[in-house]
Amino acid sequence: MDNYIIEMLNITKEFPGIIANDNITLQLKKGEIHALLGENGAGKSTLMSVLFGLYQPEAGVIKVRGKEEKITGPLDANALGIGMVHQHFKLVHNFTVLQNIVLGMETTKHGFLKMDDARKKIMDLSEKYQLTIDPDALISDITVGMQQRVEILKMLYRDNEIMIFDEPTAVLTPQEIDELMQIMRDLVKEGKSILFITHKLNEIKAVADRCTVLRRGKYIGTVEVKDTTPEEMSEMMVGRKVNLTVEKGAASPKDVVLEVKNLSVKANKEGHTKNLVSNVTFQVRKGEIVCIAGIDGNGQTELIHAITGLAEMSEGIVLLNGQDVTKKSIRYKNTHGLSHIPEDRHKHGLVLDYNLGYNLVLQQYFEKGFQQCTFLKNDSIYGYSEKLIEDYDIRSSEGPYTSARSMSGGNQQKAIVAREVSRDHDILLAVQPTRGLDVGAIEYIHRELIKQRDAGAAILLVSLELDEVMNLSDRILVMFEGSIVADLDPKKVTVQELGLYMAGSKKEGGKS
């Protein structure tokens, strides 16, 4: 008999208007990495939330180490040795790393927090698993990759044997992803068992032993990863063959749409003298995809925020169709040809407490078609939204009336893409447009970007995915430490060379 540490047998979980998990069985062997694969909204996070006690199933049984258990909340899960790193981290931003790790497990003496033992245990764990952290740093001051290390240390501090990783690489750089894969291998060597939710087939091939596939809330099958190709897994996930390569013809660039001249952004923290963006100049023309590539944290975010108006620039000008829009409002830019798929979908992309319909008209609700005498025309808004939901296959339990907060991360992303691409625009700023999406949705968005380019739009793409950069770009601008260090032709550069430029080991002209 197989040595299963977790058995989820015939689990059914329903929400209003949708069966998120329909009679699903998942079995995790002790000491394995088991991937859970499925499209956005297939029910993966819901199933793991049932295991972690965040939801109660309508039907089904959970066994832990062979014994049937009733898990009524995360405290029960932790008591059974189950820990979870959520897709959107559960950290208190104005607490330190140390405080976040011990939260809920604090040691006190005479009513005072006693942190010395906790600090020692955390630093020992951090050294053992090479999860370098600064225990006294505030969460608000550390990178997303570091925040993930904090979440992993939270599980290790609680001696969790069974670890759930929900889309752990969706917000990481390629280098951080490689580190995480190694950490997962090390954890399994130490006797841990891992459930790993992902859309990325190459990651499953790299670390998983077995893979269970869900589609639209139903169980499709479980396969041995070493015996299964990425194409076979993607077909199980989507229900059809998926083209994993991007097909596009040559670009025909025309007039300049976006021109950035000598743009600089100063650091906003005291003691930082170096600019976050230094004297950046470039153009994007109609009919081309220009990609800004670089390791995360090299000024890409600040550059895009300065162009769109989300943050101020210290020097430079931005021209849109030849007009100086440097000092213009965000709405002015949006109504004069600029669309923007932002990097942070929660902070800048959606109003989470609005419904999907209202989110799909956020930049247009004030137009005549959607309002009259300052009153919203809900029939028009919901009619328009329903068309976008169908065209872009946005999965939501109650159509345009669904709360944006309740949707899966991938479907939230699809909603933003639908809103920005469907508006009249001359340039589309697409920042990490496929982050957290499954292969079917990635294929769709790549095709849509190329369709936009071929229809005459200018596209400025910011991506950390090297395959995406190489496959979609007509030109690649490499950013390193706030400056553009290379302007490359993807047909004439290798992935390895691109990596050297991104790491600052190589500069254009052959200087290193």
Digitized pLDDT (tens) for each residue of the chain, 512 residues in all = 468 999 999 999 998 878 899 999 999 999 999 999 988 778 888 999 999 999 999 999 999 999 999 999 988 998 999 988 877 777 888 888 888 888 876 776 666 666 778 888 888 888 887 778 888 888 888 777 778 888 888 888 888 899 898 887 766 666 778 888 888 898 899 889 999 998 788 889 999 999 999 998 999 999 999 999 988 988 898 888 776 677 788 888 889 999 999 999 988 765 556 788 999 999 999 999 999 998 777 899 999 999 999 988 999 999 999 999 999 999 999 999 999 999 888 888 999 999 999 999 998 999 888 998 889 999 999 999 999 999 888 888 889 999 999 888 778 988 999 999 999 899 999 998 887 777 778 888 898 899 999 999 999 999 887 888 888 999 999 998 899 999 999 999 888 788 788 877 766 654 43
Answer whether residue 342 is part of any domain: no
80 & 188 share domain: yes
CB-based contact 91:100 (threshold 8 Å) = yes
User: What is the model's pLDDT at position 219?
Assistant: 93
Confidence (pLDDT) at 92: 85
Q: Determine the residue type at 121.
A: K
Residues 211 and 287 in one domain: no
Q: What is the pLDDT of residue 512?
A: 39
Which of 423, 439, 458 lies at the terminal end of a domain, its last residue? 423
Specify the CATH number for the domain of residue 491.
Answer: 3.40.50.300
What's the confidence (pLDDT) of residue 403? 92
- The residue among 201, 216, 238 that closes a domain is 238
Question: Within this chain, do residues 179 and 251 fall inside the same structural domain, yes or no?
Answer: no
pLDDT score of 415: 93
> Looking at the domain assignment, is residue 62 inside a domain?
yes
Same domain flag for 135 and 64: yes
Q: Are the CB atoms for 168 and 150 separated by under 8 Å?
A: no
Q: What is the pLDDT of residue 138?
A: 87
The reported pLDDT for the residue numbered 511 is 42
Judge contact between 478 and 501, C-beta under 8 A: yes
What are the angstrom distances between the C-alpha of 330 and each of 127, 337, 340, 352, 377?
Answer: 46, 11, 10, 20, 24
Instruction: Say whether both 437 and 392 belong to one domain.
Output: no
Residue 66 and residue 118 in one domain = yes
State how far the Cα of 130 lies from the Cα of 134, in Å rounded to an integer: 13
* Alpha-carbon distance values, 275 to 198, 278, 310 (Å): 36, 6, 17
Measured N-to-C along each axis, helices 439-454 and 230-238 cross at an angle, to the nearest 10 degrees, of 90
Same domain, 225 and 251: no
Asked, for residue 109, whether it belongs to a domain, the answer is: yes
End residue of a domain, out of 423, 452, 481: 423
Which SS3 state, helix, strand or coil, does residue 350 take?
Answer: coil
DSSP 3-state of 238? helix
Q: Are residues 116 and 217 in the same domain?
A: yes
Closest by CA position to 358, among listed 316, 305, 312, 402: 402
What pTM does this model have?
A: 0.70
177 and 105 fall within a common domain: yes
CB-facing half-sphere around the CA of 372: CA atoms within 13 A: 6
Q: Is 457 part of any domain?
A: yes
Does a structural domain hold residue 175?
yes
**Listed residue (360, 340, 281, 348) closest to 458, CA to CA:** 340
Any domain includes 467: yes
Burial class (CB in 10 A: 0-12, 13-18, 19+), 202: exposed
- pLDDT score, position 510: 46
Q: Are residues 37 and 76 in the same domain?
A: yes
Q: Are residues 411 and 495 in the same domain?
A: no
When divided into structural domains, the chain yields a total of: 3
Residue 69 in any domain: the answer is yes
C-alpha–C-alpha distance, residues 460 and 181, integer Å? 30
**What range does the domain containing 51 cover?**
4-238
Are 416 and 459 in the same domain?
Answer: no
Residue 392 lies in a domain: yes
